[in-house]
Amino acid sequence: MNETNEKNENAGMNAATDAQYGAEQIQVLEGLDPVRKRPGMYIGSTSIDGLHHLVYEIVDNAIDEALAGYCTEIKVEILPDNIIRVTDNGRGIPTGIHPTEGISAATVVYTVLHAGGKFGGGGYKVSGGLHGVGASVVNALSEWLEITVKDGQNIHFQHFDRGEYKEQLKVIGQTEETGTMVTFKADAEIFETTVYDYETLLKRMREQAFLNAGIRIVFSDLRDEADPKREVLHYEGGIREFVEHIRSVRGHEPIGDVIYVSGTQDDSFAEVAMQYNDSYNECIMSFANNIHTKDGGSHETGFKNALTKVINDYGRRFGKLKENEKLSGDDVREGLIAIISVKLTECEFEGQTKGRLGNPQVRPFVEKMLQEKLMSYFEMNPAVAGEIMDKCLAARRAREAAKNARETARRKTAMESASLPGKLADCSEHGVANTEIYIVEGDSAGGSAKGGRDRRYQAILPLWGKMLNVEKARIDRVYGNEKLMPVVTALGTGIGEDFNLEKLRYEKVIIMADADVDGCHIRTLLLTFFFRYMKPLIENGNVYIAQPPLFKVERDTKAKKYEAVRYAFSDEERDRYIEELKTSEDGKTFKLLVQRYKGLGEMDSDQLWETTMNPETRTILRVKMEDAIKADEIISILMGDKVLPRKDYIEKYAKTVSNLDI
Ligand code: 1YM
């Protein structure tokens, strides 16, 4: 058993010694109206992310019960009609009558905002950022919700419609078992979509199973009767297995074992699992109370500081580094996968999206713990330490080569007086606001784009030459690459450490490529490049994908009155337009011309403007990086040099693979 479980069992003991606790200590604050009025305030948004949040809230309560030591299994099911059912075999939510509210505690938990008496300190309140308000929020945002509680004697049941109930919690049978089952259907009046994404939920359930070693989550999707899915998520190794999982999905070869260290200080617990591999990427994920801190924070800073220090100290002590040599943070993190998980009594989340852990005292705690334990690991495992040192030294040499290449490139640009690429057709407007650059594959498409654009604010950069697969190359080879350098110069931002978003010369960077396999390839390559060397560009939402149509549907008529053209972006849309255009309002039927565009080059300038470039009529997709880790993973799988994971991935997502990158 690891220290997480020990600690949490203590938390459970506190609750157990206070038998009536559940029914008495719930703070009562307010009803559910505000939740339905402003759902975004409670679950972030009403998009699919908000929808998934409902599931996380209920599952979090079951996880808390498991961490308290009373529950061994959590079942999460997506039932037909996108109904969610979560079942645990814990104590069951308390059913006793609440002293001030005069109704059952379970009813209070599900109908009163901020009802969460169980979180008044003592042990970690590990899950969720909502401090136990989750259940009532889910209830308020569900078309209906039902709770079934087994307390070892009775089976209690209550039904709610949009958070309201007509009947109190009532006994509907007898049982010797204990546990809680919650079933709900998200309210279509609230959410943009009520269709759950299996992969997203699976990923989250798996993550929670890794972060809470020993917990068993059985996740199933029973929506398609012909194709039921079921996964048992149970990892005795916890975050060690998380690291192993990330590495094998990406298909990297390990360097050394997974290193695991953990420690406690006062009421805080921290654990780190890490392993090097043969890739050049760094994948560090941190969590605070099981919540992913995607922007890092004090725990991550503590980890990074300690890692750099220990490797430098070790290198110096054992003669791998000369006195005047120093490995940088980037050097020691190249090819590293690491998970940092801390559990605290109270987390402070900071930043615009609350993705960064504040809690200043956590940095020195993690730093000191890691420094001591990592150093003793290296001392006891000199072979692994040696391999890691060699890897870091290789990274340092590559970084030096890159620096030289960069300086050469800088000198060269200075000499060429920072001239823009010859093929760039720049826009005439001088400011950045509202300007766009289209990056277009192929000279013929480039030609149409130049002819069709609004030259005041639209610039065109045709691409030529051989593309570099940036996944397989370090930064030194990017400088001087004939295909990528014009992009870098045109955007004006520089790359890597030199990147400066303020120097971006256009507001929108639009990748325009064909809808076919080659187009997909160039898109993915460019996105990989942006992801690795211009990440803030994606984070800031400046990168877009143009959507050229696949079909043109047109009436074959000379009569002006009946002329009509539609552009379709899918087979379904094409069929819809065919239906729509084949007869006119006055009943005249037409022969239709349906043209399939094989490439952008087939469209003339006017068509390209009308369908793909005119801001009034076009569709462009903004490239989001809500989950940089996911993009990184896909890019590694699709672009890396291991064939097997790529094959697995493509087989699994064969149908959607063309949309991967957006
Ligand atoms: C499928 C979702 O909610 N399980 C669950 C919730 C609670 C308990 C047990 C529980 C907690 C405590 C004592 C305690 C909750 N209880 C409350 C409150 N599964 C699910 N299982 N007894 C039972 O923390 O002391 C809120 S959630 F507030 F009523 F105690």
pLDDT exceeds 60 at position 16 = no
Contact 367, 305 (CB under 8 A): yes
Alpha-carbon torsion, ordered 517, 426, 510, 516, to 10 deg:
-10
The percentage of residues in the chain with a pLDDT greater than 90, rounded to a whole number, is 56
Give backbone dihedrals phi and psi of 351, rounded to 5 degrees, phi first: 90, 170
* Helix (H) or strand (E) segment spanning residue 514: none
- The residue contributing the CA closest to ligand 1 atom 6 is 93
The residue assigned the tokens 């998380």 is 242
- Residue identified by tokens 């063309």 is 658
pTM value? Answer: 0.73
Averaged pLDDT, 225-231: 95
**Distance between CA atoms of residues 109 and 139, nearest Å:** 10
- The CATH label, of 2.60.40.10, 3.30.530.20, 1.10.10.1150, 3.40.50.670, for the domain at 419-547+621-656 is 3.40.50.670
Say yes or no to pLDDT of 405 above 80.
Answer: no
Q: Is the CB of 26 under 6 A from ligand 1?
A: yes
pLDDT tens for 438-462 read 999 877 788 899 999 999 999 999 9
Distance (Å, rounded) from C-alpha 294 to C-alpha 1?
Answer: 28
Domain ranges for the chain, please list them.
Answer: 3-233, 239-399, 419-547+621-656, 551-596
655 vs 388, residue with greater confidence: 388
Mutating to test ligand 1, I would choose from 97, 158, 180, 182 the residue with most ligand atoms within 8 A of its C-beta, which is 180
Between CA 70 and CA 21 the distance in angstroms is 15
Is residue 161 annotated as part of the catalytic site, yes or no? no
CB 342 within 8 A of CB 299: yes
Q: Between residues 5 and 296, which one has the greater pLDDT? A: 296
The answer to whether the CB of 385 falls within 8 A of the CB of 314 is yes
* Bridge partner residues of 97 (DSSP): 104
Atom of ligand 1 nearest to the CA of 71: 21
Q: Report the nearest-CA residue for atom 7 of ligand 1.
A: 93
Cβ partners under 8 Å of residue 620, min gap 6:
508, 510, 544, 545, 546, 547
- Can 641 be counted among the known catalytic residues? no
Residue 411 pLDDT class (50, 70, 90 cuts): low
Atom index in ligand 1 nearest the CA of residue 116 equals 28
pLDDT one-digit tens code per residue, 459-504: 999 987 666 666 666 666 777 777 888 899 899 998 887 889 999 9
According to DSSP, residue 190 is labeled T
CATH number of 239-399: 3.30.230.10
CB atoms within 10 A of CB 606: 11
Residue 452 phi/psi, 5° resolution? Answer: -90, -20
Q: Is residue 190 a contact partner of residue 172, using CB atoms and an 8 Å limit?
A: no
In this predicted model, what pLDDT tens digit does every residue of 314-359 receive, in sequence order? 999 999 998 888 999 999 999 999 999 999 998 999 988 789 999 9
Given ligand 1 and candidates 26, 56, 65, which is best to mutate, with the most ligand atoms within 8 Å of its CB?
65
DSSP 3-state assignment of 281? coil
Residue 45: partners with Cβ closer than 8 Å, 6 or more residues away: none
For ligand 1, whether the C-beta of 460 sits within 6 Å is: no
pLDDT of 30: 58
356-357 and 458-463 as β-strands: parallel, antiparallel, unpaired? unpaired
d(CA 662, CA 659) in angstroms, rounded, equals 6
The residue whose CA has the least distance to atom 17 of ligand 1 is: 93
Q: Which two tokens stand for residue 176?
A: 């010797």
Work out the percent of the chain whose per-residue pLDDT is above 70. Answer: 84
Give residue for tokens 């350098």: 485
- CA distances to 183, 236, 373, 423 from 216, in Å: 19, 9, 29, 58
Which atom belonging to ligand 1 lies closest to the Cα atom of 182? 1
Encoded tokens for 352: 């615009």
How many CA within 13 A on the CB side of residue 403? 6
> What is the DSSP pairing of strand 592-596 with strand 551-555?
antiparallel
**Average per-residue pLDDT for the chain:** 85
pLDDT band for position 653 (50/70/90)? low
Strands (E), 280-406: 282-288, 291-292, 336-343, 349-350, 356-357
Does domain 3-233 fall under CATH 3.30.565.10? My reply is: yes
| Rounded distance between C-alpha atoms, residue 650 and residue 642, angstroms | 13
Answer yes or no: 295 catalytic. Answer: no
Q: What backbone torsions phi and psi does residue 424 show, to the nearest 5 degrees?
A: -70, 125
Q: How far is the CA of 179 from the centre of ligand 1 (A)?
A: 9
Ligand 1: distance of its center to the CA of 91 in Å? 7
* Cα 633 to chain centroid, rounded: 10
306 vs 273, 302, 329, 373, CA distance in Å? 14, 6, 10, 10
Task: For residue 118, report the distance from its CA to the centre of ligand 1, in Å.
Answer: 8
Q: For residues 21 and 118, is the Cβ–Cβ distance under 8 A? A: yes
Task: Identify whether the C-beta of residue 119 lies closer than 8 Å to the C-beta of residue 32.
Answer: no
Question: Angle at the Cα of 468 (from 464 to 474), degrees rounded to 5?
Answer: 145
Report CA-CA distances (Å) from 377 to 256, 374, 380: 12, 5, 5
| Mean pLDDT in residue range 386-411 | 84
* pLDDT single digits (tens) 237-258: 999 999 999 999 888 999 999 9
Give the separation between CA 80 and CA 142, rounded to whole angstroms.
16
User: Given pLDDT bands bounded at 50, 70 and 90, which one contains residue 172?
Assistant: very high
> From the CA of 62, how far away is ligand 1's center (Å)?
8
Residue 195 has which token pair? 């269709």
Residue 659 in this model has a pLDDT that exceeds 70? no
Looking at 514-629, which runs of residues are DSSP E strands? 543-546, 551-555, 565-568, 592-596, 620-622
Strands of 268-277's sheet in order across: 254-265, 268-277, 336-343, 282-288, 291-292
Is it the case that residue 17 has pLDDT exceeding 50? Answer: no
What tens digit of pLDDT does each residue of 146-159 get? Answer: 999 999 999 999 99
**Nearest residue to 281 via CA among 635, 652, 659:** 635
Kindly give the pairing relationship between strand 336-343 and strand 268-277: antiparallel
Q: Give, using CA atoms, the residue closest to atom 2 of ligand 1.
A: 62
